[in-house]
Amino acid sequence: MTEAKTVPTGVPVDEFIDGVEPASKREDARALLEVFERVTGQPATMWGPSIIGFGQYHYTYDSGHSGTSMRSGFSPRKARHSLYFMGRYVDEATGKKVDRLLDTLGKHKTGASCVYVNKLADIDLAVLEEIIALCWDAMNRVYPD
């Protein structure tokens, strides 16, 4: 079985953010860091080379594959920010609530496991906070410590 590539690295989050380009993405990353830390109550950790994660959980698939991943997080990519809301996928009721909130979030796109945002000015940060909180609570219910 292959080893997971997205694991905690020990790289300081502030050091990573200082290298984010362009400057507008760097400022957005600092704002996202503040929001995620405040809502989750957890310190940020670098997961892999470019994902800023909060908390962690252990999972085991029906196939027997298991691993550890972050409970929530984001990656400040050059083109757009990737926001990881794991609770949206582990609890159907939470997923439905999040999908309704996404209708009011502002300009974004969704992918298989992410929500993509070009810049924070395009979205309602209060709605973002609500989504983070809902997903965080779902992860804590489904994967208690």
What is the domain partition of the chain in residue ranges?
13-142
At residue 1, the pLDDT reads 47
Alpha carbons within 13 A on the beta-carbon side of 127: 17
CATH of 13-142, one of 3.40.30.10, 3.40.50.10860, 3.20.10.10, 3.90.1150.200: 3.90.1150.200
pLDDT band per the 50, 70, 90 thresholds, residue 3:
low
81 residue type, one letter: H
pLDDT one-digit tens code per residue, 87-99? 998 999 999 999 9
pLDDT band per the 50, 70, 90 thresholds, residue 2:
low
Mean pLDDT of the chain: 94
pLDDT one-digit tens code per residue, 111-140? 877 999 999 999 999 999 999 999 999 999
At residue 145, the pLDDT reads 80
Phi, psi angles (nearest 5°) of residue 109: -130, 155
Q: CA-to-CA distance for 16 and 73, rounded, in angstroms? A: 14
The model's pTM: 0.93
Q: CA-to-CA distance for 105 and 108, rounded, in angstroms? A: 8
Interval 82-107 mean pLDDT = 95
pLDDT band per the 50, 70, 90 thresholds, residue 65:
confident
